[in-house]
A and B are shown apart, each in its own frame.
Chain A
Amino acid sequence: MRFAKILGALGLATAVLAGALAPTHAKADALERIAKEKVLRVAVPQDFPPFGSVGTDLKPVGYDIDTATLIAKEMGAKVELVPVTSTNRIPYLTTGKVDLVISSLGKNAEREKVIDFSTAYAPFFNGVFGPDDIKAEKPEDLEGKTVGVTRGSVEDIELSKIVTDKVTVRRYEDNNGTISAFLSGQVQLVATGNVVAAAIFERNPPRQPILKFLIKNSPCFVGLNKNEGPLLEKVNAIIAKAKDDGSLNDIAKKWLHAPLPKDL
């Protein structure tokens, strides 16, 4: 009988422990609380320009911050920005420290088990970019052309899969090398992220990196806790409205120097 007792005690202990360790999801009343307190708490990046970085006045600025402000305004609440890193942004949400994560968050199956996602609010992709006078709509069009890429990057791996031997791929040590090669005309096109392309645009160069086609697309979504149906609906409605009335497009033009893709 002692054995059964020990087993029973163990089982109880396990159950208690499991209960204590289970993620404490906020109850489905976040929207109510926001409406009552008139404060929307948002996790934003501070080390990932142009989505979020620290401005000259030491306040966070960027695409994500503008989106957070826009959503809060539509809700009639004051925005409270909580700077997070890419590793702690989801724990901040699941432990109820913030209501939303607007932190250039991509969607994947693992994350979908833990949190919910809104519709996409920002474009994030790798593509082939180049000046206006070069035509390239698909990988085959690159044949006979020179494409610069940062060696070992996601876009390098993806590009290498889709191009033939007839494409000259020049691989540089880092993004700066790739950008220099493009700006000096040593390569006709570059394969890189839209964020890097935006950084090139920022310098107002004579050779502008305009998107030719996508290589890999993983747009950004607003992250919410599970079982927050009303809040999710509200956020989705605000994003849809912002897409319609052009206010999200203005944010995209401001920070990414390119209009929102039509299929976002």
Chain B
Amino acid sequence: MAYSFDFSSLLDYTPVLVDGVVTTVALTAVSTVLGVALGVGGAAARTSTVKPLALVVGAYVELIRNTPFLVQLFFIFFGLPSLGIRLAEWQAAVLAMVINLGAYSTEIIRAGIEATPKGQIEAGASLGMTGPQIFRYVVLGPAMAKIWPALTSQIVIVMLGSSVCSQIAAEELSFAANFIQSRNFRPFEVYFLATALYLALAVGLRWVFSLMGQRMFAKGVSRA
């Protein structure tokens, strides 16, 4: 146990680490917005009465949830160029994260939608609301309030999973850590710091989402 830490060797690489954190946050922010939007759409489609649509979305969800993220990422980055679709590493990373989060959040939001009591939907219909109006004003709000903690966890998982994108040379936090330790040969210090940064990011993300949840659902009817 006689290891002497030398964090000073990391000082030269501060810009690399800062870039890494910024890229990780940016990747997570963009894919969260697009991924949750995809999830809402997916959940609506999966619970809709249009059977083919529900089936197609179901197939997408099962495909993504039953294959590894790394393989999905490699498929997009190394595979698609064979079809003439060449994406930059950040585009491939965002696309993979959106598709991945979209599938998981579809399932999470669907659970919330299906937990909505039938009576509420009938009440909306008896007020003369159309299908989309019922979904927007009666179903979605309470559903999101119910599943908000689960969705938060999933987004944290996606943020941590973005470390895999270092494999296609997307220069996020893990890439920065790997890069630095291949230069200064101080893996313990580097990964120590990277772990701390990921932890801080995850805690921060949960905090932001909990604040957002309180704001959005404070007056909600279905505070469980």
Whole-angstrom distance from the CB of A195 to the nearest CB of chain B?
Answer: 20
Whole-angstrom distance from the CB of A91 to the nearest CB of chain B?
Answer: 28
Contact B167 A173 (CB under 8 A): yes
Contact A156 B169 (CB under 8 A): no
Known: A180-B78, A185-B86. A172 touches B169 (CB 8 A): yes
Known: A184-B81, A185-B81. A170 touches B169 (CB 8 A): yes
A186 cross-chain contacts in B, Cβ below 8 A: 77-78, 81, 86, 89, 168
Q: Does A181 make an interface contact (CB < 8 A)?
A: yes
Q: CA–CA, A159 to B127, complex, Å?
A: 70
Contact B89 A152 (CB under 8 A): no
A180 cross-chain contacts in B, Cβ below 8 A: 78
Q: Does B47 make an interface contact (CB < 8 A)?
A: no
Of B32-40, B176-184, B201-209, B210-218, the one with at least 4 CB within 8 A of chain A? B176-184
- Choose from A148, A171, A185 the contact partner of B179 (Cβ within 8 Å): A171
- Choose from B82, B167, B169, B183 the contact partner of A184 (Cβ within 8 Å): B82
By DSSP majority rule, is chain A's interface helix, strand, loop, or mixed?
A: mixed
Chain A residue with Cβ nearest B185: A152
B154 cross-chain contacts in A, Cβ below 8 A: none
- Choose from B77, B81, B182 the contact partner of A151 (Cβ within 8 Å): B182
B179 cross-chain contacts in A, Cβ below 8 A: 151-152, 171
| 0/1 string, B136-150, CB within 8 A of A gives 1 | 000000000000000
Contact B82 A152 (CB under 8 A): no
B167 cross-chain contacts in A, Cβ below 8 A: 172-173, 177
Q: Does B23 make an interface contact (CB < 8 A)?
A: no
Query: What interface size band does chain A fall in?
Result: 10 to 19
Contact B183 A152 (CB under 8 A): yes
Within A157-213, the residues touching B (CB, 8 Å) are 157, 170-173, 177, 180-181, 184-186
B89 cross-chain contacts in A, Cβ below 8 A: 170, 186
| 0/1 string, A138-166, CB within 8 A of B gives 1 | 00000000001001100011000000000
Q: Does B163 make an interface contact (CB < 8 A)?
A: no
Q: Does B166 make an interface contact (CB < 8 A)?
A: yes
B86 cross-chain contacts in A, Cβ below 8 A: 184-186
Contact A151 B178 (CB under 8 A): yes
B78 cross-chain contacts in A, Cβ below 8 A: 180-181, 184, 186
Q: CA–CA, A181 to B77, complex, Å?
A: 8
A156 cross-chain contacts in B, Cβ below 8 A: 182
Whole-angstrom distance from the CB of B106 to the nearest CB of chain A?
Answer: 30
Q: CA–CA, A170 to B183, complex, Å?
A: 15
B81 cross-chain contacts in A, Cβ below 8 A: 184-186
Within A27-74, the residues touching B (CB, 8 Å) are none
Chain A residue with Cβ nearest B175: A171
Q: CA–CA, A173 to B182, complex, Å?
A: 11
Q: CA–CA, A180 to B82, complex, Å?
A: 12
Chain B residue with Cβ nearest A184: B81
**Chain A residues near B (Cβ < 8 Å):** 148, 151-152, 156-157, 170-173, 177, 180-181, 184-186
**25 cross-chain CB contacts under 8 A:** A148-B169, A151-B179, A151-B182, A152-B179, A152-B182, A152-B183, A156-B182, A170-B89, A170-B169, A171-B175, A171-B179, A172-B167, A172-B168, A173-B166, A177-B167, A181-B168, A181-B169, A184-B77, A184-B79, A184-B81, A184-B82, A185-B86, A186-B78, A186-B86, A186-B168
Closest 8 CB pairs of A and B: A152-B182, A184-B81, A170-B169, A184-B78, A180-B78, A185-B81, A151-B182, A172-B169
